[in-house]
Amino acid sequence: MRVIVKGTFAEACVAVAEIIGDLVRRKPTAKLGLATGSTPEGVYDHLAEMCAAGLDFSGVTTVNLDEYRGITGDNPVSYRYFMDKMLFSRINIDPNNTYVASGVKDLEEELARFKRKIYDGQIDLQLLGIGVNGHVGFNEPAEKLYCTAHVEKLTPSTIAANARFFAHESEVPTEALTMGIGDIMSAAAIVLLAGGANKATAIRELITNDFITTAIPATFIKAHSNATVVIDRELAELAGYR
Ligand code: GLP
């Protein structure tokens, strides 16, 4: 696993956008696995700028990591809404080539569709953030982790962390559809971006030792042959990385 440390978080976002941009330039039909949360916002800003400057997304397809259960895609707190607003409406991608799981359709059918979208052609690059407790997608710390797309019950810590996007913590859905760890590991490349002091414990477990543990689901990416972690200097120092 490669670790890239940038001077600032803004620079880390640009570095990740450049990695994605290089891929799309090299492979105009690239399949991207995308992430939500506040972490990738700067990446999407930069990709929108790159598109305005001529980077062509017309042949790109995307599949997102996860979606809250019980929330429709036109709800501003849904991940579909976030992706449309933060990226898809700002680049020349065909909306039909973007997939964010539906949180409201028949569950079994939607999980089957989700799996088809993940495996119908390998994901070239999977972008990840990381939860305060080390979750990726919505794969929460547990004794056992799921390999494929499934419904995850969110932990109180994740509900509390994500409450800032909702009017009240009681409105945060308690379940989500998410790619499993095996789905994430099936991508040809993984890029995990993190910033902020609250991620220091999880990032320490990810980049300063050689262990994999279901207690910090992100640690599984250590076993991937082409994984890159991009962080800023402040987080690297807080995580004890030298
Ligand atoms: C959510 C998402 C994750 C994301 C995490 C961190 O739980 N399911 O994919 O990485 O939040 O979010 P943030 O980037 O806002 O800290």
Residues 6+ apart with CB under 8 A from 242: none
pLDDT at 159 (0 to 100)? 96
Give the domain range for residue 135. 2-238
Q: What's the pTM value of the predicted model, to 2 decimals?
A: 0.97
Q: Given ligand 1 and candidates 9, 126, 130, 178, which is best to mutate, with the most ligand atoms within 8 Å of its CB?
A: 130
What is the residue with the minimal CA distance to atom 10 of ligand 1? Answer: 129
d(CA 72, CA 33): 21
171 among known catalytic residues? no
Ligand 1 shell residues, CB under 6 Å: 35-39, 65-66, 129-131, 137-138, 158, 162
Reading across the β-sheet that carries 66-68, which strands appear in turn? 66-68, 175-178, 150-153
Query: Mind listing the pLDDT tens digit for each residue in 114-155?
Result: 999 999 999 999 999 999 999 999 999 999 999 999 999 999
What phi and psi, each to the nearest 5 degrees, are found at residue 128?
Answer: -130, 145
- The DSSP result for the chain, as a single string, is -EEEEESSHHHHHHHHHHHHHHHHHH-TT-EEEE--SSTTHHHHHHHHHHHHTT---TT-EEEESEEETT--TTSTTSHHHHHHHHTGGGS---GGGEE---SSS-HHHHHHHHHHHHHSS--SEEEE---TTS-BTTB---SS--SSSEEEEPPHHHHHHHGGGSSSGGGS-SEEEE--HHHHHTSS-EEEEE-SGGGHHHHHHHHSS---BTTBGGGGGGG-TTEEEEEEHHHHHHTT--
Distance 37 CA to ligand 1 centre (A): 4
150 among known catalytic residues? no
Distance 121 CA to ligand 1 centre (A): 25
pLDDT at 80 (0 to 100)? 98
User: Which atom of ligand 1 has the smallest separation from the CA of 176?
Assistant: 8
Contact 143, 166 (CB under 8 A): no
Q: How many CB atoms lie within 10 A of CB 229?
A: 25
Question: Exposed (0-12), middle (13-18) or buried (19+): which is 191, by Cβ within 10 Å?
Answer: buried
pLDDT at 49 (0 to 100)? 98
46 among known catalytic residues? no
Q: Mean per-residue pLDDT for 36-54?
A: 98
Given pLDDT bands bounded at 50, 70 and 90, which one contains residue 24? Answer: very high
Q: Given ligand 1 and candidates 9, 128, 162, which is best to mutate, with the most ligand atoms within 8 Å of its CB?
A: 162
Query: Mind listing the pLDDT tens digit for each residue in 89-120?
Result: 999 999 999 999 999 999 999 999 999 999 99
234 among known catalytic residues? no
pLDDT at 28 (0 to 100)? 98
Domain count, the chain: 1
Query: Mind listing the pLDDT tens digit for each residue in 164-183?
Result: 999 999 999 999 999 999 99
What is the residue with the minimal CA distance to atom 3 of ligand 1? Answer: 137
CATH number at residue 57: 3.40.50.1360
Q: β-pairing, 175-178 with 66-68?
A: antiparallel
Q: Mean per-residue pLDDT for 201-229?
A: 98
What is the residue with the minimal CA distance to atom 12 of ligand 1? Answer: 37
Residue found by looking up tokens 């689901």 in the block: 217
| Annotated active-site residue in 67, 110, 124, 140 | 140
